[in-house]
A and B are shown apart, each in its own frame.
Chain A
Amino acid sequence: KNQVEQSPQSLIILEGKNCTLQCNYTVSPFSNLRWYKQDTGRGPVSLTIMTFSENTKSNGRYTATLDADTKQSSLHITASQLSDSASYICVVSGVSAGNKLTFGGGTRVLVKP
């Protein structure tokens, strides 16, 4: 069964500090991996999309890495801001049935001043 596991489940960090979120997946064959940010009460917003051949992609203070061999990805937030408080969801697309998406459970990040 295709699975996407994220860790930690939740995280509290101080404003200005960095943090790293982890995503492990078993989806195979793999097509692409996406990170989304979801603010409370809103729909998810795409941060990055990486294909098999990419191992890093940045979007402002967000940097995602991908190791397709070990089936691991990470999302690094640099110099966190209060607005980074949200849930971060890892989504993996498999090369079958129209690239159906498998969602991780998300990591809830709280940035404190």
Chain B
Amino acid sequence: KAGVTQTPRYLIKTRGQQVTLSCSPISGHRSVSWYQQTPGQGLQFLFEYFSETQRNKGNFPGRFSGRQFSNSRSEMNVSTLELGDSALYLCASSLIAGGVTDTQYFGPGTRLTVL
């Protein structure tokens, strides 16, 4: 079974631009979560989607948005990029949302660098 895939793997943008990251979950998984990982802040939760609906949201500004399609694939968009948005963006999928012991499977991440 193929794992979680994320595209692109690496991205370089300049301040003020916008970016869209893509995540394809494991086949059959309906929940997709996004995380930002930086050396200083560690892993931080961005949002979670289940059946095309946002179920949960972290404490990030409105510049960060996402959506999920009917095939469970998800996209994350960051508008008006800032230097501080440079990070590894990780996507994780799980079978169901909010399952007490549901294992999350992470993708390899997209490394975003903002110049």
**Chain B 64-94 interface 0/1 with A at a Cβ cutoff of 8 Å (1 = within):** 0000000000000000000000000010100
Q: Which of these, B42, B56, B98, B108, contacts A103 with CB under 8 Å?
A: B42
Count of chain B residues with Cβ under 8 Å from any Cβ of A?
A: 25
Main secondary structure of the interface of A (DSSP, over half): strand
Q: Which residues of B contact A36 (CB under 8 A)?
A: 106
Closest partner residue, chain B, to A106 (CB atom):
B42
Does A101 lie at the interface of the complex (its beta carbon under 8 Å from any beta carbon of B)? yes
Q: Which of A44, A45, A49, A89 has the most CB of B within 10 A?
A: A44
* Tier of interface size on chain A: 20 to 34
Q: Which residues of A contact B42 (CB under 8 A)?
A: 89, 103-106
Closest partner residue, chain B, to A98 (CB atom):
B98
Does A51 lie at the interface of the complex (its beta carbon under 8 Å from any beta carbon of B)? yes
